[in-house]
Amino acid sequence: MGQAKQRRMAQEREKALFSEIDLARVAGAVQRVCAAASGNLGVDCFDQALLAQSVLQRLGVHAEIVIGYAAWRVGPGGGDVISHYPASDTPVGTGAAFFHAWLKLGESIFDVTTNTFRLKATLLDAMDGGKTVVAWEPQYLWMPMADSRSLREVTMAMRGGIASYLGVSSFSVQ
pTM of the model: 0.83
CA atoms within 13 A on the CB side of 150: 3
pLDDT in tens, the chain (174 residues): 688 887 777 667 666 666 678 999 999 999 999 888 877 766 789 999 999 999 999 988 889 999 999 999 999 998 899 998 987 555 544 445 578 999 999 889 999 999 999 998 998 888 888 899 999 999 999 999 999 999 999 999 999 999 999 998 765 554
State which amino acid sits at residue 60. G
Q: Are 47 and 65 in contact (CB under 8 A)?
A: no
CA distance 149 to 162: 7
- Tell me how far CA of residue 61 lies from CA of 54, 77, 148, in angstroms: 9, 38, 22
Sorted by where each begins, the domain ranges of the chain are: 3-171
CA distance 8 to 47: 32
Overall CATH class of domain 3-171: alpha beta
